[in-house]
Amino acid sequence: MDKIPFSAIVLYAVPEGMLHGTLGLSLVAVRPRFKVILAYGTLFAATAYLVRQAPVFPGIHTLVITVFNSLYLFALNRMPYRKALLAVILALAVLIFAELLFTPVALSFFALSYEQVAANPWLRVLVTLPQQMFLALSALVAYRMRGFHRSGYRHVRSYRPWGQ
């Protein structure tokens, strides 16, 4: 059970959710829209807060949050559920990679322990800035590679099932 302070929710979880949604949608070729991403980021943070409050076995909360996030993308973007689930899983993979890469580096650079970071809400936000920047850079690269930044971009939605 992890008690997330309100400052960490606002300054860490909501932006992470927005970056998570932008990256996931860009990776599955769905152009992110700001209002949808803002709503997704808020729902992402609220879900993370509520699920982490529950007394569940560690690791289960990640699965529960993933299922809820895929449902949010499914409902907010009116896209096939399999595509929404794929977007969430791909973004989660990048997020896990960023956490594994940058969190130990930040902790050793500032000579901090996990307990110190968990006890201080501002340290909790500051230590995650490198991974947030990595997510932002990954989302920006995926967004630009899809051509979403072009003013003449036209999206044609295809409802064909995958594999056909």
Q: Single out the residue of 108, 106, 112 nearest to residue 133, CA to CA.
A: 106
- Residue type present at position 45: A
Alpha-carbon gap, residue 16 to 146, rounded angstroms: 21
Q: Where are the alpha helices (DSSP H) in the chain?
A: 6-8, 14-27, 34-53, 60-77, 81-109, 114-119, 121-127, 129-145
- Model confidence, pTM: 0.81
- pLDDT, one tens digit for every residue, the chain (164 residues): 556 677 777 788 899 999 999 999 988 888 888 899 999 999 999 998 888 888 877 788 889 889 999 999 999 988 899 999 999 999 999 999 998 999 888 888 888 888 888 778 788 888 888 899 999 999 888 888 877 666 665 555 544 555 54
The per-residue pLDDT for 154 is 58
